[in-house]
Structure 1
Amino acid sequence: MEQLVEFELTKEFRDRFQQALDERDQNFIQQSLIDVKPADITSLLYEFNAVESKYVMDLLPIEVQSEVIRDLDPDTRKRNIKIYQLPEVVQLLNQLASDDAADILHELPVKDREIVLGGLEQELRIQVTELLRYEENVAGGLMAKELIKARINWTVVECVEEIRKQAENVSKFYQVYVVDATDMLLGKVALQDLIISDAKKIVADIYEKDIVSVETYMEDWEVAEVMKKYDLESVPVVNVHGQLVGRITIDDVVDVITEQADEERQMMAGITENVEEDDSVWRNTRARLPWLLIGIAGGLMNAKFMGLFENELARVTAIAFFTPLIQATGGNVGIQSSSLIVQSLANPDFVDDGLWKRLVKVFFVAILNGLFLSVLVFVANVFLFKEYELSTVVSLALFSVVVFASFIGTITPLVLNRYGFNPALAAGPFITTINDLLGLTLYFFTIHLML
C-alpha cells in the first residue's frame, strides 16, 4: 500500500519556499515536493503568483503537473495557464481524462482551444470534441468518455479480455455496463459476478437489468441528487436514444455539490457573484454592494415609517428603546425559519411530506418561542423599568413579531422556489429587511392601540 505523506503548509515552510523561488533553488524545491500528493502541491501553489507557480510546475513530472492543473480552481487555472505555451498545454491535457481536458479547453480562448484540440492524441481528441458540444452545467458536459462496457452476447471470457484492454484508459471503475450491438444501455454486471461465473456463460445470463442512468441534457444539480439518492459511486450517461455515451463519477459530483454550497452560502450572505477573498477590490465591491444598497433602502423606509408615529414617540419616549430589540428578534427568527426551509428544499421529498403539515408545525414552534421570549422580556422590563403597561405592550408586540416573522421566513423561500429563483435569497439580507419593516409595523401598531 502506498504510504500517505503528511503535508502541512506552515508559514515557515511557505517563507522558505518563497526564498527558494526567489533564488531559483531547484534542489530545495524538488526535495521539498518528493512524495507530496498533487492535491497538496495545488494548495501550496495558491500562495504564489502565476510565474512562480509555473517555475515549480516545470520541475515536476508531467503526470503530477497535469493533476495539479486539474485540481486548481477555474479562476486560478485560467490566470496561470495564460503564461503557458500552447504545446505545453497540449502535453498536459494528454495526461488527463476526457472530462477534465474538456473543462480546461472551455476556459481557453476559441483560437487557442482549436489549436490545442488539434494537438491532442487522436482518441482523446475525438472524446473531447464530443464533450465540447455540451454545456458545462449538464450531464453531457460533466461526464467522462472513459468507461468499461460489455456486449450482452459476449462470453465471460471475452468480457474479461475486453475489460483488460479497456481498463488501460480507465483509472477507476466500479462496474461494467452492458450494451447491445448499437450501444443501447441494457444494464450492468458486477466484477464479482464475472470472476465467479462459469467461463462459458454469456453476459446475458449474469447481468442486472436494474440500472440507474441519467440523460445528457440533465442539469448537474439533478445528477448530484440522483447519485446522492441512490448512493452511487458512478452513474452511466445516455443520449436521447438511450445509447451509452459516458459516465459520471463521484468526484465530479462532489465538485458540483461544493460549488452549489459555496453559491448558496454567498447568496445567504448577500453576495451576488461568485467571488473569493483574493479577488480584485472592484469585483468584491460589486458583489457586495447590491444587497447593501437594498439594506440602506430598507433602513430609510424604517426611518420614514417611524416618523409616522412621531406623536407616540414624543408622548412615551421609552418606546424607542425597544425598536432594536423588536427588529433584531424579527430578523433572527426570520433567518432561522428561512434557513431551515432552504435546507428542506434541497430534499426532493420535501413536498411529499405535506406543505400544510410543515406550516402548522412552524406555527406551533413560533407560538412556543414567542411565549417564552415575550414572558422573558416582560419580566426583565418590569424589573428594570417598573412600567407594567409598557412592558405588556412590548411583550405583545414581540410575540406578534416572532409569529409573523416565522411565517414570512417560511413562506418566502417557498414562493421564490416556486417561481424559479434561488430560495437561498430568502435566508440573507432580503428576509432581514422584510422582517425589520414587519417588526416595526407590528410594534407601533400595538403601541397605537394600547397606549
Structure 2
Amino acid sequence: MPFKLTDELLEQVQTLISESKDAELRTLMKEFHYADIAEIANELDEEEATYIIKLLDSEKTSDAITELDEDVREAILNNLSPKEIADELEELDTDDAADIVGELPKELVKEVISEIEDRDHAKDIVDLLRYDEDTAGGLMAKELVKVNENWTVTRCVKEMRTQAEEVTRVHSIYVIDDEEKLKGRLSLKDLLTVSTETHIREVYIPKVDYVNVNEKPEEVAKIMQKYDLEAIPVVDEIGRLVGRITIDDIVDVIRDEAERDYQLAAGISQDVEADDTIWELTRARLPWLILGLFGGAAAAVIMGGFEEMFKKYTVLFLFTPLIAAMAGNVGVQSSAIIVQGLANDDIKGSIGNRLIKEMLLALLNGIILSALLLLFTWIWKGDFMTAMAISISLIAVIVVAGFIGTFIPLFLDKRGIDPAIATGPFITTSNDIFGILIYFWIAKLILGL
C-alpha cells in the first residue's frame, strides 16, 4: 500500500519526539522508505527533523537527506557536527555525497572531508567537486565495475566481486586498457561461457555509448533516452573512464528541465517554488509582467492611431479582443510544438522548410476560422464588406502569429538561449502588438479609409 502522510501520523511522530520515546520512534520509522522519512521531515520543524536524522541509522537517513527540500536539508546540516555529516556521506554514492558537500559553507567542507574514514571515498568526492554541476562530470558517480582488457576471466571475476561490494547496482561492466581508457563493455553471458584462462580482450564488446565529462546534462538525457540506457559511462578529455551516470540522476535532470521550461513558459524568469518568499516570487514574475504592461501600452498607442476609423466602424473595436486572443493562441501553439520538438531532438531539416510548413498550417486554420467569422459577422451586423475586412485580417494575423511562434524559438535555440522563453508572455505580447497593427491596417485598406 502506498505511503500516505496523514495528520494523525505526523502528530504521532511529533508526540514521540516531544516525549523522547526513542525506541518507539525507531520502531515506527523502521518500515518506512527513506523517501517517506524525508516527506515526514519536510513537515516537521527544524529541531524535530534534526532529532529524527540523529536518532536513526545513517544507512537510512543518508538517502533521506538527499530527498529533503533544499531549505530543510540546509537547516538540518547546520545542526549536525562535521563528524555526523561525514557519517551520512559515508553511506552515499559519491555523486549524492558531492552534491551535499557542494551545499555546505566553504569553511566547513574541509573539516567534513577530513572526518570521512574511507579515504578513497573522500578522494572521489573531492574529485567530483571540481566539475561544474551543469556538466556530465558534475552529475556522475565514481562507483562502477571496470576490468582490464589484459586480465583473464579468472582474475576478472575476482576483481569484479571486490568492486561490486562498493556499487549499489551493477548496470554494466566496463573494459579499460592499462591507461584507464574506455575500450568497451563486457557481457556476463560471454564471461560465463568462455574458458577461465581467456583474456578479456578476446570477448569484450568494443561498441559502447559514452559521454564526455563536459557534456551538458540535457544532452546526456537525450542519449540515454534514445538508446534506452540505464547507465552510461563518462570519460575525460583523453578518453579515460572516470565515472558513470545512472537513470535515476537523468530522471532528476528531466524533471528539473521540465520545471524550468514550464516556469519560463508561464513568464517566471527564475527557479522558484510556491513556498518561497513574496520578494523571491515577485522578482521571478515581475520582469515578464512589465513586458506585458509595455506590450499593452504599445497596443493602446497603435489603436489610438486608428481612432477616426473607430468612429465610423465601431464594430472593428468589438472584435479587437478576438484578434488579439487568436494571435496569442496561435503563436503559443506554434512555439509550444517547436519547443517540444527541440527538447526531444525531433526538429530536423532547415529552418526555412519548418517555417513554410507552419505558415501553410496557419493559413489553412486561418481560412477555416475566418470563414466561420465571416458568416457570423455578416449575419450579426448585416455588413458584408466589414465582415470581409475582419475575416481577411484574421487570416493575416494567424499566418503572422504562426510565423513568429515558429521562428522565435528556432532563432533562440540557434543562439544558445532556452527556447522555452518563447512559449510564454514573450510570444503573446509580440503577437498582440503585431496582430492589432495588422488587423487595423488591413481593415483600413479594404474599407477604403
TM range (shorter): over 0.9
The residue type paired with residue 129 of structure 2 is L
Give the superposition deviation at 1:313.
1.1
Structure 1 gap ranges (5+)? none
Q: Secondary structure at the match of 1:211?
A: coil
Residue 216 (structure 2) pairs with residue 219 (structure 1): yes
- Please give the residue correspondences for 1:44-63 in structure 2 after superposition, counting only pairs within 5 Å: 44-63=40-59
Q: Secondary structure at the match of 1:169?
A: coil
Counterpart-to-counterpart distance in 2, 1:23 and 1:383: 77
Change (3 A) 1:382 1:371: same
Residue 278 (structure 2) pairs with residue 309 (structure 1): no
Q: Of 186, 190, 199, which residue of structure 1 is paired with 2:187?
A: 190
- Please give the residue correspondences for 1:50-449 in structure 2 after superposition, counting only pairs within 5 Å: 50-120=46-116, 121-348=118-345, 350-351=347-348, 353-449=349-445
Q: Secondary structure at the match of 2:125?
A: helix
The normalised TM-score by structure 1 is 0.94
Give the superposition deviation at 1:26.
4.5
Percentage identity across aligned positions? 41
Change (3 A) 1:20 1:219: same
The residue type paired with residue 92 of structure 2 is L
Give the superposition deviation at 1:93.
0.6
Give the superposition deviation at 1:425.
0.7
Residue by residue over 1:407-436, the C-alpha shift from the partner in whole angstroms, topping out at 9 and shown as x without a partner, is 110001111111121111110000000000
Give the superposition deviation at 1:25.
5.4
Counterpart-to-counterpart distance in 2, 1:9 and 1:138: 35
Q: Considering only aligned residues, what root-mean-square deviation do their CA atoms show, in Å?
A: 1.8
Aligned length: 446
The residue type paired with residue 37 of structure 2 is I
Kept after mapping to 1: 8 A contact 2:42/2:69: no
Q: Secondary structure at the match of 1:46?
A: helix
Give the superposition deviation at 1:32.
3.8
Residue by residue over 1:375-425, the C-alpha shift from the partner in whole angstroms, topping out at 9 and shown as x without a partner, is 122222233333322222211111111111001100011111111211111
The normalised TM-score by structure 2 is 0.95
Kept after mapping to 2: 8 A contact 1:175/1:191: no
Residue by residue over 1:12-50, the C-alpha shift from the partner in whole angstroms, topping out at 9 and shown as x without a partner, is 444554555555555664444331111122223222332
Structure 2 gap ranges (5+)? none
The residue type paired with residue 115 of structure 1 is E
